[in-house]
Amino acid sequence: MTYRLAPIDTSTFTAERGASGTDVGDLTVIGSVVQRSDARGHVTGRTEFFEDVAPPRLAHLKMHRSARHHARILDVDLTEAVAVPGVLRILTHADIPNNLYTPLKLIGVGPDDEPVLAVDKVRYLGEPICAVVAETEAAALEGAARIKVTYEDLPPVFDVEEALKEGAPLVNEYHGQNHFIYEGHHCRRIRFGDVEEAFARADHVFEWRYQSAPIEQAPVETTGCVVVPQADGRLRIHSDTQACFFTLDNTALILETPFNTLRIVGGTVGGGFGGKVDVVVEPVACVAAMLADRPVKFVYDRAEEMQVSSPRAAERIIIKDGVMNDGRIIGRKVTLYVDAGAYSRHSPYGTTKAAAHLPGPYSIPNVWADCHCVFTNRTPSSAMRGFGVTIADFALESQMDRIARALDLDPLRLRLLNAYRDGDLKAHRKVAEGTALVEVIQKAAEMAGHELPEAYRRMSSTTREGL
C-alpha cells in the first residue's frame, strides 16, 4: 500500500517538542495513520445525507427567481401558478415573519440588507421572489414557471470601481451607498508609518494590478434541506449546512420564534467549501412546512447551485511597493476591492480578513491599505476556502515574484529578506509570534533542490540576526 507519509522533521523548534531527551514529546499523531471515523459509513453507503431522509407526505419547494439583474417589481401574477394541479401554496415576502435579514447580525454586523423573498425590487439575476410548494417536484417546477412578474428595469452596475463612482446606480437601499461602512469609515483601512515618504526614498517603485473572477464552490451535493414539523409544533431541519447553529439562530430570527423551537440535524455535508455557510434554504422551507403543515424539501438543482449560490468574491487588488536595490521592501500600499454582489452575506467579514492579512507575511515598516467591500448587481458572494485571504495571497505572492524578476533577485531570498520574524510589530500593531516562515522557505528550498547561500540558510524566524 502506498501512503504518502511525510516524516516529521524534528530538527526545527526542538525546544518546543516536549521534555529534553525525547524526540517528539507528545506530538505523535501527525505522521501516523489514524482511520477516519466516517469512512465505513461512506464506503457502505450508510452515511445519512440530508436528502436520504424521506418522511411521508413530503412536499417540494421550488423558487421563482428574478429574470433581471436590477429592476423594480411592478406586479406578481400568481393566477396561472395556483391553478397548476398539485400546487399547495405559493409563498411571497408577506408570508415571511421577519423578511429582512443579514446572516452576520449574530456577531453584530448590520444593517439587515437582504429580503428572504424579494419585496419591491430585485438586485441580482436569480434573486428569489416566490416559493412554490407542491405535491411533487414537477408540479413545483411547473408552478414556479407559470408565475408572471412584471419588471421596470433599472440600470445595473457590475464593476466594483464603477459602483463606487459618483452617480452610479444605487444597488442596496439598506446601505444607502454602494459600499459597506466600517465603524464610520468608507472601507477597512490600515495606516502604519508613511508610505509616501518610503516611495520617495525607495530605489524602485513597482505598481501592479491583480484581478480574480468569482469562483463557485460547486459541491457535488447541492445546497438543501428537509424540514419536518413535529407533533409538539417544533420543526426538525435536516440540512447540509456547514454551520448548524448559525443556521438555527438565523432561521429563528427570520421566523421570529424562540431558538428552542427548531432542531437541526446536520453535520454531514456532501462538499461545502464555504458554499453552505449562508442561510438561504432553511428559513423559507420552515415557513413552507409550517403553512402547509407537511414536511417540505427545498434543494437547489445543479443550475441554481451554479447561478445563485454565493461564490467566492471577485477581487481587484492594486499593490504599490517601494523597494531598495538589495530587495528590502520599505513601503507597501494596497487598494483592494471585494465584489460583495447585491447583499452583504459574509463579505464585510471577508474584506476585514483581507485587510488583516495585509501586507502578507512580511515585515514592511510603512503600510497603507484601503479594503473596500462593494455592492454590485452580481450574485451575492460569500465564504469559500480562506476567502479574503486566498486572492490577497495570489496578488501578494505574484507581486513578490514580479519584484524578484524586475530586480533579477532570487525569489526565495527576496522573501527570506522580508519575512516577518517573531517579535516584529505588524502593521495592525500586533506583535508577530510563532511565525516560522523562514524555516518553511528554507525547507521548501531544500526539498526543491534550490540552493541558498549559507547566510540565508542560517536565518531564523526567532531572530533578526543576519539581516
Partner 1 sequence: MPSQIVSLIVNGEQREFIAAPGATLLASLRESLGLTAAKRGCAQGACGTCTVLVDGRPEASCLVAVETVAGRSIRTLEGVAAGGELDEVQSAFVDCFATQCGFCTAGMIMVAEALLDANPEPSEEDVIEAISGNVCRCTGYRPIVIAVLEAARRRREQVVSR
Site for partner 1 (CB under 8 A): which residue of 86, 270, 386, 423?
270
Query: With binding defined as CB under 8 A, does residue 5 bind partner 1?
Result: no
Rule CB under 8 A: choose which of 222, 310, 363, 377 binds partner 1: 222
> For partner 1, which residue of 273, 291, 407, 410 counts as binding (CB under 8 A)?
273
Q: Which three cell numbers stand for residue 64?
A: 421563482
CA 410/CA 400 separation, integer angstroms:
10
Which region among 109-117, 121-129, 183-191, 211-219 touches partner 1 (by CB under 8 A)? 211-219
Angle between helices 390-407 and 347-357 (to 10 degrees): 30
Nearest approach, Cβ of 395 to partner 1 (angstroms)?
23
Please identify, using beta-carbon distances, which residue of 53 and 291 lies nearer to partner 1.
53
Q: Min. distance of Cβ 65 from partner 1 in angstroms?
A: 18
| Residue 134 C-beta: closest distance to partner 1, Å | 14
Give the separation between CA 132 and CA 134, rounded to whole angstroms. 6
Q: Give CA–CA dist 437/424, Å, rounded.
A: 13
Q: Does 3 bind partner 1 (CB under 8 A)?
A: yes
Per CB under 8 A, does 220 bind partner 1? yes
Give yes or no for residue 223 binding partner 1 (CB under 8 A): no
Asked whether the bond before 311 is cis by omega within 30 degrees of 0, the reply is: no
From the CB of 220, what's the least distance to partner 1, in Å? 4
Burial call 404-436: b when 16+ CB within 10 Å, e when fewer: beebebbbbbbbbbbbbbbebebbeeeebeebb
Nearest-approach distance from CB 315 to partner 1, in angstroms: 22
CB of 417 to partner 1, least distance (A): 34
**Residues touching partner 1, count (CB under 8 A):** 34
User: For residues 37 and 79, which CB has a smaller minimum distance to partner 1 in the complex?
Assistant: 37
User: Least distance (Å) from partner 1 to the CB of residue 264?
Assistant: 18
> 29-68 mask for partner 1 (x: CB under 8 A)?
------xx-xxxxxxxxxxxx-xx-x--------------
391 binds partner 1 (CB under 8 A): no
The least distance separating partner 1 from the CB of residue 269, rounded to whole angstroms, comes to 6
Return the C-alpha torsion angle 138, 141, 145, 146, nearest 10. Answer: 60
Which residue stretch of 20-28, 83-91, 220-228, 324-332 sits at the interface with partner 1 (rule: CB under 8 A)?
220-228
Choices 1-9, 191-199, 283-291, 399-407; region in contact with partner 1 by CB under 8 A? 1-9
Residue with cell 510603512: 366
Residue window 84-123: x/- pattern of binding to partner 1, with contact defined by CB under 8 A: ----------------------------------------
User: Grid coordinates 416566490 are at which residue?
Assistant: 130
CB of 221 to partner 1, least distance (A): 5
448 binds partner 1 per the rule CB under 8 A: no
Binding of residue 271 to partner 1 (CB under 8 A): yes
* Part of the chain binding partner 1 (CB under 8 A), chosen from 167-175, 203-211, 268-276, 326-334: 268-276
Q: Note whether 269 binds partner 1 by CB under 8 A.
A: yes
Site string for partner 1, 279-318 (x = CB under 8 A): ----------------------xx----------------
Least Cβ distance, residue 7 to partner 1 (angstroms): 18
Q: According to CB under 8 A, which one of 82, 104, 218, 407 is a site residue for partner 1?
A: 218
**Contact window for partner 1 (CB under 8 A) among 262-270, 284-292, 309-317, 425-433:** 262-270
- Should residue 418 be labelled a site residue for partner 1 when binding is judged by CB under 8 A? no
**Exposed/middle/buried for residue 318 (C-beta within 10 Å: 0-12, 13-18, 19+):** middle
Kindly list the residues in this chain that would bind partner 1 in the complex (CB under 8 A): 1-3, 35-36, 38-49, 51-52, 54, 217-222, 268-273, 301-302
